[in-house]
Amino acid sequence: MKKTVILFLSCFTLYAKTLTLDGCIEATLQNHPDIKKLSLGTLQSGSLVDVAKADYLPQLNLSAQYNPHNTFTMPQNGTFNTIEDDNFIAEAKVTQKIYDFSKTTSTIEAYEKNKNIATLSLEEAKALLVFSVKNLYNKALFQTKALETRQKDIETKEELYKQAEALVREGLKTKADATSMLSALYNAKDAYATTKAELHKAIATLFLYMGEEADFGVTLQESAPTTLQSANTLDTIFAKNFSLLGLNEQITRDTLLYNASKAANYGSVDAVASYTYQDSLNEYDTSMVGIGINIPLYSGGRLSAQNEYTRIEKERTKESYRAKKLQLEEQTLTLLADLERYKATIEAKEALIDSSLATKEVVEARYKEGLSTYIEVLDAATTHLQARLGLLEARFALQNIKNNLEYLQGEKK
């Protein structure tokens, strides 16, 4: 069940704008420049596939040349005579690749994998942004509740200060009691201001992500805590993590590029057809249809260097995949351990709040009767305050861990 948490800010208005986590995520994904940039990258990768597929189709070239002044040498009676005239040549040539040892096929498949990699990079960026927005939203909720707690602490310190002054006037306490209570009140107000500043930062950054002007009078809706099934979390991460999936696609792509690079050593077999028209001293045309074989015999070491480069790149990507998998495993195990830790911390803090509240009430009552010192009162109030803040921090940390695990599993909502 959702409940509304009101931001206790100085600029709070009666008709404050209401934000939801889903709304913040949607606005961020629509407006963040990283998403737009990577979306264009996906389209760009698709263009490379079309470029590679063009090698499957006939290639038609038309060329023409006109020379207004050209010298021709003609043999006549054992001597050579020169004639000057203009010259015009036009040629149309069609080539069709017949076989290139799967070089073109491997290149096309590699570029298709490139498109998949770009898509996975886009999905990874979306998941990361969702994770960031969740944490910012969670931080804003945490600071809101912390602000409430610190406000109550200020009220408690104000009441204790008034009591101390009254007891000083009655001669039951010394001036040191009132001074100490006043110092504690100032410290509470300073802590309140610090918490308020942190809340402003979280709200400002959240609106920055959404591409909107910051509104510090917003109302945030709190959703029910996320539940996670940790039994198969690691398997799910290995199967769905976008970074890992992208590296797996890169391995396939680099293997295909390596195969294409090796195939380039064998050349290609092409069908060739051409028509040439020439108008110089005589006007005539020629045509040709045939098959050509292109075999690279020597390229200055370029092909062998390219083979070695693609082979090493393939091995590097494999090691990157293994390293990423180890990193994810370590990160997941750490998060799962922290998850159990904070569950225990929350139980302990909840119990501490009850006991510290009872202690605080007893000590304050004894203080009014002159049976406790101001030090005991402040210690009891501090213990209770730290227990309440500690519970909020533990819940905040627990939700961040859940958000992190969802991000590693490729969640985008």
User: Closest by alpha carbon to 274, among 43, 38, 58?
Assistant: 58
How far apart are the C-alpha atoms of 167 and 192, rounded to whole Å? Answer: 27
- Domain count across the chain: 1
What's the one-letter identity of residue 42?
A: T
Specify the DSSP element, H or E, that contains 95.
strand 79-99
What's the one-letter identity of residue 256?
A: L
First CA to last CA across the chain, in angstroms?
Answer: 18
Local confidence band at 196 (pLDDT 50, 70, 90 cut-offs): very high
pLDDT at 171: 80
Local confidence band at 283 (pLDDT 50, 70, 90 cut-offs): confident
pLDDT at 229: 57
How far apart are the C-alpha atoms of 211 and 30, rounded to whole Å? Answer: 9
Residue 68 within any structural domain of the chain: no
Residue 134 within any structural domain of the chain: yes
What's the one-letter identity of residue 32?
A: H
Residue 270 scores a pLDDT above 90: yes
Instruction: State the chain's mean pLDDT as an integer.
Output: 88
* pLDDT tens digits, 64-115: 998 888 777 777 777 777 878 888 999 999 999 999 999 999 999 999 999 9
* pLDDT tens digits, 284-326: 899 999 998 988 988 888 989 999 999 999 999 999 999 999 9
pLDDT at 312: 95
* pLDDT tens digits, 2-57: 444 444 333 333 345 788 899 999 999 998 899 989 999 888 888 888 888 888 89
Residue 292 within any structural domain of the chain: no
How far apart are the C-alpha atoms of 195 and 209, rounded to whole Å? Answer: 21
Helical ranges in 211-301 per DSSP H: 233-240, 242-263
pLDDT at 1: 37
Find how far residue 242's CA is from the centre of its chain.
Answer: 10
Range of the domain at 213: 3-57+102-265+300-408
Residue 214 within any structural domain of the chain: yes
- The CATH number assigned to the domain holding 313 equals 1.20.1600.10
The segment with the largest mean pLDDT, out of 79-88, 148-157, 224-233, is 148-157
Bridge partners (DSSP) of residue 81 are 74
Residue 21 within any structural domain of the chain: yes
Tally of residues, the chain = 413
Q: What sign for the dihedral angle of Cα 341, 344, 350, 352?
A: negative
Local confidence band at 228 (pLDDT 50, 70, 90 cut-offs): low
Calculate what percentage of the chain has a pLDDT beyond 70.
94
How far apart are the C-alpha atoms of 344 and 338, rounded to whole Å? Answer: 10
Name residue, tokens 């998949």: 116
pLDDT at 231: 55
Residue 278 within any structural domain of the chain: no
- Which two structure tokens, joined as six digits, stand for 360? 């605080």
The segment with the largest mean pLDDT, out of 137-146, 161-170, 209-218, is 137-146
Q: What pTM was estimated for this model as a whole?
A: 0.80
Residue 387 within any structural domain of the chain: yes
Q: 64: phi > 0 → left, psi -120 to 50 → alpha, else beta; which?
A: beta
- Which two structure tokens, joined as six digits, stand for 1? 């069940």
How far apart are the C-alpha atoms of 371 and 366, rounded to whole Å? Answer: 5
How far apart are the C-alpha atoms of 368 and 224, rounded to whole Å? Answer: 42
- Which two structure tokens, joined as six digits, stand for 308? 């070695």
Name residue, tokens 């799962």: 336
User: Closest by alpha carbon to 256, among 320, 303, 311, 299?
Assistant: 311
Cα 220–Cα 224–Cα 228 angle in degrees, nearest 5? 130
* pLDDT tens digits, 367-409: 777 778 888 888 888 899 999 999 999 999 999 999 999 999 9
- Which two structure tokens, joined as six digits, stand for 298? 């020597």
* pLDDT tens digits, 353-371: 999 989 988 988 887 777 7
- Which two structure tokens, joined as six digits, stand for 137? 């939203």
Residue 317 within any structural domain of the chain: yes
